[in-house]
Structure 1
Amino acid sequence: MAIYFALLSLYSECKNVHIEFQSDSVTAVKYVNDMGGMTSPELDRLSAKIWSWCLERNIFISAVYIKGFENVEADWYSRNFSDSTEWRLKPWIFNRLCSHFFMPDIDLFASRINKQLDTFISWFPEPGAVCNDAFSCSWHDYEPYIFPPFNLISKVVNKIAEDSVERALVVVPFWKSQPWFPLLLQYVASLPVRLPRHKDLLTLAHDRTLHQIGKSLNLIGVMLSGNRYILENFQQELSRSSFKHGEQGQENNMVWLGNSGIFGVLNNVKIPFTPMK
């Protein structure tokens, strides 16, 4: 399976080449070189799948055995896999978010395990991924869904602005004291929504393990934009809808404290939450 995934991830654009694999599995080496076998029907089918994929591209493959203690780099990655980045938003909640805002066309921070959309970008080379490392490509032509690692939120917002993304559906924690929160406020293009606190709101896609702080994690969904015309239109609409006669304006941009249903304040105007559809 590792050989098959390596072909899909690294050689999907190749033709007319010979690829040699080194593996510490005697079984894998034999089934690849013999184009199948009689012992395991499952491995025989997988071998046929590998060779069919290769023959369509005129690729010839061979495999050689390498002792495990010599297979240092690949063996380290296979034994030190971390599933801490494989958290997935509950699909039902994701579908509600899409109904409320819009249907994204790509999942920018995903894997083949936890992707919400068929088109996705992964951190490492992976079968089915458009590319790897979302920050290495332009987001300008996408309308993405973004549920990033929390330590990358500031970088994500800056990337949306730099690439002039028309609209992006972003899920982030409602942490008003974080340094990235005022930056995020500047690119809000629609009223945000609070996500319900379901105990299974975040799970590991491969084994359904619940997030350790899932019950106390306050997540929000918000549409961000790097298009200044969209931002100006939203802020003008917000100004008209939020104004109350005689209300004292805020002296500067600030975060509205408390649990009053206010997301934040931008240009002296409060941004409220709106109920999710």
Structure 2
Amino acid sequence: MKGDLEWWVANVSTELRHISHGSPQIVIQTDASLLGWGGILSDNEIGGRWTDEESKNHINYLEILAIYFTLKSFLHLIINKHVKVLTDNTTAVAYISNMGGTKSIDCNTISRQIWLFCKDNDIWLTCTHIAGKENLADKKSREFDDKLEWKLERSVFDQLCTLWQRPDIDLFASRLNFQLENYCSWKPDPLSAFIDAFSINWSYFQFVYLFPPFSLLSRCIFKIREDGARGVVIAPFWQTQTWFPRLMQLLTDNPIVLPKNKKILNLPHDPQSVHPLHKKMKLIACPVSGVASENEDFLKKQPTYSCRLGNQVQRNSTKCISGNGSNIVTKNKLIAFKFL
């Protein structure tokens, strides 16, 4: 409370109190459960799970935190606006409307953060209660798509950074599974620096980190070449996939086969989780560049693949030639996989 009083003493002479802020220009619905949070603004829906630590808080605190996360996620839509927040939690309504409260230090702290955030972005809040059965955000706080939240074991990521270099941005992440604080999310996110990796130019960064959904790997490979980007791609060792030869053609160093164990991938909100493909899937880390001359420089340093006498030269651009998958032929050059 002392900090709040000191802030008011320092700012009271500069604050203007408007007689009226007019009618709300934006309406947001928010909700929280003990599992996660959700928010809706018109046709825009967001939400996600709590971290293990966040989930231990009281539901009243979580309801206010859901408001904060929703406001931050939709900042690009609500800046300089009068926003009406609808929530089915009366405690949240009271704390937001009164800019804090005295019964809960935690609720007061997060409410203060919300109003400081609004002050910095010229946002005025009106908070109103809505019946739970009418709150459209309820579903977003209880239903989640966990398959998008798998994260590479942190110690493995750190080893890759030491081996090559630390990336500037994590291009496919969320607030739950980011490896770098500077990250891009696929939908509005309270902490992300960018939204939608395919909407930005990857060459703006010196070195990018990509661990995308496997269904997007082909598109990512095209984007790396198109933007002339440099970075590291985490992908499954699936030689028969159409994108695999093109990924090998982007290499600037020997790819790394990652340790095969059930903890190589995890869900941050569920530390005991095991990826359903952990027994069959082998992951590789590939240092890549979309600059053709850098790919050529790497290939020149690799030994030339020679067929045995009488064998026909392989016409495929990429072919696995060893039983353990530790060598690949690309453009008639033998590329050895290293092991972490």
Q: Same-fold call, TM > 0.5?
A: yes
Partner of 1:189: 252
Q: Which residue of 2 aligns with 1:71?
A: 135
**Counterpart code for 2:287:** M
User: Which stretch of structure 1 is more off in the superposition, 80-89 or 111-120?
Assistant: 80-89
Match of 2:216 among 135, 140, 152: 152
Instruction: Output one character per residue of 1:211-250: Cα deviation in whole Å (capped at 9) or x when no partner.
Output: 2232432111111111011111112122xxx137886684
Equivalent of 1:136 in 199, 203, 214: 199
Residue 218 in 1 paired to residue 282 in 2?
Answer: yes
Structure 2 residue 304 is the aligned partner of structure 1 residue 243: yes
Check whether the contact 1:197–1:216 (CA below 8 A) recurs between aligned residues. Answer: no
The secondary structure found in structure 1 opposite 2:195 is: coil
Aligned position for 2:121: 57
Return closer, same or farther for 1:14/1:80 CA change in 2, 3 Å cut-off: closer
Cα distance in structure 2, aligned partners of 1:145 and 1:259 = 30
Which protein has the larger Cα radius of gyration, Structure 1 or Structure 2? 2
Matching residue of 2:238:
175
Deviations 1:10-49 (CA, angstroms, capped at 9, x unpaired)? 2279654322112222221221112122332221221112
TM-score (norm 2): 0.74
Contact 1:120 1:130 (C-alpha < 8 Å) held by counterparts: yes
Residue 149 to residue 31, structure 1, CA distance change in 2 (3 Å)? same
Cα offset, 1:62, TM superposition:
1.2
Question: Which runs of no fewer than 5 residues in structure 1 stay unpaired?
Answer: none
How far off is 1:261 after superposition? Answer: 4.6
CA RMSD of superposed structures (Å): 2.1
Q: Given residue 165 of structure 2, which amino acid in structure 1 is its aligned partner?
A: F
Amino acid at match of 1:92: S
CA contact (8 A) 1:192 1:263 kept: no
Q: Any unmatched runs of 5+ in structure 2?
A: 1-64
Q: In structure 2, what is the Cα distance between the partners aligned to 1:243 and 1:200?
A: 37
TM-score for both structures, normalised by structure 1: 0.90
Q: State how far apart, in whole Å, the 1-side matches of 2:73 and 2:322 are.
A: 48
Determine the C-alpha separation between the residues in 2 that align with 1:155 and 1:245. 32
1:47 aligns with 2:47: no
Q: Which residue of 1 aligns with 2:74?
A: 10
How many residue pairs get aligned? The number is 271
In 2, distance between residues paired with 1:130 and 1:110? 11
Give 1:75 shift. Answer: 2.5
Deviations, residues 60-113 of structure 1 (Å, cap 9, x unaligned): 2111122233222x2332222122211111110001111112211100011111
1:98 aligns with 2:161: yes
Match of 1:85 in 2: 148
Whether contact under 8 Å (1:261, 1:272) holds in the other structure is no
**Contact 2:259 2:339 survives alignment (8 Å):** no
Calculate percent identity across the aligned residue pairs.
38
Structure 1 counterpart of 2:334, one-letter code: K
**2:12 maps to what in 1?**
none
The counterpart of 1:108, out of the listed 171, 179, 191, is 171
Counterpart contact for 1:182–1:254, Cα < 8 Å: yes
Look up the match of 2:270: 207
- Which amino acid is the alignment partner of residue 277 of structure 2? I
Task: Say which SS state the counterpart of residue 255 (structure 1) adopts.
Answer: strand
| 8 A Cα contact 1:22 1:66, kept in partner | yes
